[in-house]
Structure 1
Amino acid sequence: MNKVSIKIALAYVGVIVGAGLSSGQDILQYFLSFGKIGMIGIVLLGIMNILFGRIIVTLGCYYQSDNHQDVLTQISSPLINKVIDFTLILSNFIIGFVMIAGAGANLKQQVGLPAWVGALVCSILIILISYLDFDKITGVLGIFTPVLILMIFGIAVLTFWGKSYDFNQLDATAKSIKSSMPNIGFSVINYYALCAMTGVSMAFVLGGSVVRIGVAEKGGTIGGVIIGIIIGTVAATLFAKIDIIKDAEIPMLVLANNISPIFAYFYTFTIFALIFNTAFSLDYALAKRLAGNSKKRTKVFLIGIVIASYALSFLGFRELISIMYPILGYIGIILLIVLVVAWLKEKENIREEKFIRRRMIKLYKRKTDENLEYTQNHKKEFNKLGEKSSVDTKEIKETVKEFVDKNSKTDN
């Protein structure tokens, strides 16, 4: 498996698996509140994560996007583009301060610190990490994901090992939880639309950071599979213990404490890291969108966004999820429709572009290899392929050259 695909996958998971999912609060409100039928919704949600994870990251790679506007201007009408762009800007900002609120709630529940302290620490980290280069940032986004997966599976194993549960009783208890959705069908669509709103801006940027479309496709697909597994495991574990976690702000942390206080502290730190992952991704992508290509302005916008987000985080984590998430989810359905239409429309062009870039990489590798002949015909073919590419000719040539120079030993 290509290392870059894994890196993209883990970074994508880090964007999606934020405060709500790693804490269990999203799953509690959106799915388990419907009882046993909520688990069917969880399966459908996993499938949607796989399909759209592939679509979103691939489109970002195909258009070599530096921010979500690079893709949206290509796949939607001017009016729809403006609506989605405004919605993404708004949702990035809103979910960003919900994440910061989650950081405060996380440390308050386990450590007893005032919520404003945890939120402040998260805010400061977002600003500090933004001064790293993008490769280092991508590494930061994915570093805690494997740790989270191991911890969640550990909690699940200890929850179910040698134990049995009365699922009818659990079903009745789960249905006592208040839900903002009318039925499980709406919950699946609304929640995934929310996930797309959360992850699409950074996923486009992640896709645009790689030149090979095949790598982007694998990265998005693997990321979707990992998210599906995490969601399914979290949901099943929470459902089994619904009687003791239904009123908690951070339900998974309650289960971690039942295993061991020491383990719970490690889980608290991991949740905090993933909250940071999502908050950073959203604020960074939003700052890049507002600043254009200016790195200096990106830093200025990021600092301003973080300060405003910190102030708004005082509204409270659970309350923000129950009010803001359903609204953003309904708006996000427009985005899902646009993405599906774009994918169907560009599918053949994406396949052709994959061949073009693969061939250009091979040709330029031939040029840089002293043991291989690079003829005038090879040069003409390279230039012709650059002209056929969906990306600006000069840009794709430079991108291919930089890729080969940086990864001279990487297989095609």
Structure 2
Amino acid sequence: MNFLHISKEALSIALAYVGVLVGAGLSSGQDMLQYFLCFGQMGILGVVLLGILNIIFGRIIVTLGSHYQSSNHQDVLEQITHPVINRIIDITLVISCFVVGFVMVAGAGANLQQQFGIASWLGALVCSLAVIVVSFMDFEKITRILGIFTPIIVVMIMSLACYTFWDKSYDYAYLDTLAGTMEPTMPNIWLSVINYFALCAMNGVSMAFVLGGSVIRIGDAEKGGALGGTIIGLIVACAAVTLFANLDKVKDAEIPMLLIVNNIHPGVAVVYAMVIFALIFNTAFSLYYATARRFAGNNLKKMRYLLICIVAVGYICSFGGFTKLVYYMYPLLGYMGILLLVVLTVAWIQERENIIREKFLRRKMMRLLFRKYDDDYEFTAQNKRTFQKLGEMSAADTEDLKKDIKAYVEEVVEKTDDLQGYAKEKLSMKGSPLKKE
């Protein structure tokens, strides 16, 4: 897969995918400590394997979303698995949203306590009340504003890694020995990698399917998902090596990354703490909202009532403490998420030929529609019938697909003078399994 020739659409999907997966958990550093760095230098190998899984499943999840043109996770799961398993995964996703939601609230309290000395229960309460207040506002605009904190935290983590290793050396044998004094969440690094990635997939799969569903060209979805997974792998690696180099200072901290920043400059730490709080709030709100929406549907009044109840129960659960909740709840959710990874893997193997066929089917529909806008070609009645027939052959909804392809073609027409040149370069039919009309 050549990332040097990636389209703007694929790059946009990659960055959006990073925003879905990179959030409060990674920026705090607690996940990395308990899942990976407690295994010492072997934990770094685990982080590398985690990066590889991000690339593989990033491609799989976003591509499946595009293949079925999904608007929610059910659009995909209904197609790729048995109704009973689908129901189990659906319930698991709801449980995951609620549990990670109250763990995030606990993290909000721990974050403000560590940086500003505010009681953890008060910080958690502020976060919980903010979730409720925003649910009565135009929260789509607010969450878009909060979205700017994702690239900020990415830049800060990568800058921390550069600062940590610039003209410095560390006693890695000592750090490896020190890691052995920490209590891991998993019995070995291999299970830790699978469990943690399954947890991440549980948290991000619903939105990742929707991201894929917004992409009409399957090739863009494949590249976007894989590139997004690659970027996530690099960010996770930067966070992990930074934490490992500072393990003697941060191994007992609730928010270890924040402690590292504090040791660099207290002023920067204040900014970092506020960014973490914004990410935690954004994650908690998104998860609680998804849980309430799952049961309330489009009934806004019912959704808000349920959200208040869910937040109240979540606030009580957050008193378990951030570090302890991560230690006990995340592995449980990870085990539940392994079923999702199995389903996705089997679906990818079984649907691979159909996905390739769908990719060329859509390309052919686009090429046919180009004739309608190209003065050198004629869009005949036969072309119109073929366009309709191809739409009916698609795995996606026929009318929705036709509408999306028309919108895509019209956008290309506005930006491109040489439609046939565009088709030859971007919509090649070489290797197509479709019969020639």
Once the two structures are superposed, residues 292-320 of structure 1 have per-residue CA deviations (whole angstroms, 9 ceiling, x without a partner) of 56677666655554444344333321111
**Helix, strand or coil for the counterpart of 1:164?**
coil
Q: Aligned partners of 1:145 and 1:380: how far apart in 2?
A: 46
Q: Using a 3 Å threshold, how does the CA distance of structure 1 residues 350 and 298 change in structure 2: closer, same or farther?
A: farther
Give runs of aligned pairs for residues 13-28 of structure 1, distance below 5 A.
Answer: 13-28=18-33
Answer whether contact 2:288 2:310 (CA < 8 A) is retained.
Answer: yes
Where does the alignment leave 5 or more consecutive residues of structure 1 unmatched? none
Q: Aligned partners of 2:32 and 2:57: how far apart in 1?
A: 19
* 2:17 corresponds to: 12
* 1:273 corresponds to: 278
Where does the alignment leave 5 or more consecutive residues of structure 2 unmatched? 1-5, 416-421, 427-437
Q: Aligned partners of 2:297 and 2:274: how far apart in 1?
A: 34
Residue 259 of structure 1, CA deviation: 1.0
Alignment of 1:114 with 2:119, yes or no, is: yes
Equivalent residue for 2:92, pick from 57, 79, 87: 87
Once the two structures are superposed, residues 101-131 of structure 1 have per-residue CA deviations (whole angstroms, 9 ceiling, x without a partner) of 2222222211233334443454455563796
Equivalent residue for 2:46, pick from 37, 41, 47: 41
Give runs of aligned pairs for residues 135-174 of structure 1, distance below 5 A.
Answer: 142-174=147-179
Once the two structures are superposed, residues 195-249 of structure 1 have per-residue CA deviations (whole angstroms, 9 ceiling, x without a partner) of 1111112211221223222222222112211111111111111111101100000
Once the two structures are superposed, residues 164-186 of structure 1 have per-residue CA deviations (whole angstroms, 9 ceiling, x without a partner) of 11111111111111112111111
Q: Aligned partners of 2:374 and 2:131: how far apart in 1?
A: 42
Q: Aligned partners of 1:119 and 1:409: how far apart in 2?
A: 50
Paired-residue identity, %: 59
Q: Using a 3 Å threshold, how does the CA distance of structure 1 residues 133 and 317 change in structure 2: closer, same or farther?
A: closer
Alignment of 1:343 with 2:345, yes or no, is: no
Q: Using a 3 Å threshold, how does the CA distance of structure 1 residues 10 and 171 change in structure 2: closer, same or farther?
A: same
Residue 158 of structure 1, CA deviation: 1.6
Q: Using a 3 Å threshold, how does the CA distance of structure 1 residues 363 and 23 change in structure 2: closer, same or farther?
A: same
Q: Using a 3 Å threshold, how does the CA distance of structure 1 residues 31 and 356 change in structure 2: closer, same or farther?
A: same
Residue 374 of structure 1, CA deviation: 2.9
Moved more, 225-234 or 299-308: 299-308
Residue 347 of structure 1, CA deviation: 0.8
* 2:251 corresponds to: 246
Moved more, 201-210 or 49-58: 201-210
Residue 51 of structure 1, CA deviation: 0.5
**Helix, strand or coil for the counterpart of 1:179?**
coil
Moved more, 388-397 or 2-11: 2-11
Residue 398 of structure 1, CA deviation: 2.6
Alignment of 1:54 with 2:59, yes or no, is: yes
Give runs of aligned pairs for residues 62-77 of structure 1, distance below 5 A.
Answer: 62-77=67-82
Answer whether contact 1:202 1:281 (CA < 8 A) is retained.
Answer: no
Q: Using a 3 Å threshold, how does the CA distance of structure 1 residues 8 and 161 change in structure 2: closer, same or farther?
A: same
TM-score, normalising length: structure 2: 0.85
Question: Aligned AA for 1:345?
Answer: Q
Q: Aligned partners of 2:396 and 2:190: how far apart in 1?
A: 39
Equivalent residue for 1:314, pick from 312, 315, 319: 319
Once the two structures are superposed, residues 4-42 of structure 1 have per-residue CA deviations (whole angstroms, 9 ceiling, x without a partner) of 333332332222222221111001001111111111111
Give runs of aligned pairs for residues 384-399 of structure 1, distance below 5 A.
Answer: 384-399=389-404
Q: Using a 3 Å threshold, how does the CA distance of structure 1 residues 57 and 365 change in structure 2: closer, same or farther?
A: same
* 1:31 corresponds to: 36
Residue 340 of structure 1, CA deviation: 0.3
Q: Aligned partners of 1:362 and 1:133: how far apart in 2?
A: 40
Q: Aligned partners of 2:402 and 2:72: how far apart in 1?
A: 20
Once the two structures are superposed, residues 362-406 of structure 1 have per-residue CA deviations (whole angstroms, 9 ceiling, x without a partner) of 444554678864332332222111111101212222333344456
Alignment of 1:359 with 2:361, yes or no, is: no
Answer whether contact 2:135 2:304 (CA < 8 A) is retained.
Answer: no
Q: Using a 3 Å threshold, how does the CA distance of structure 1 residues 210 and 50 change in structure 2: closer, same or farther?
A: same
TM-score, normalising length: structure 1: 0.90
Q: Using a 3 Å threshold, how does the CA distance of structure 1 residues 41 and 274 change in structure 2: closer, same or farther?
A: same
Q: Aligned partners of 2:127 and 2:198: how far apart in 1?
A: 26
Answer whether contact 1:13 1:224 (CA < 8 A) is retained.
Answer: yes
Q: Aligned partners of 2:12 and 2:147: how far apart in 1?
A: 7
Answer whether contact 2:143 2:282 (CA < 8 A) is retained.
Answer: no
TM-align CA RMSD: 2.7
Question: Aligned AA for 1:325?
Answer: Y
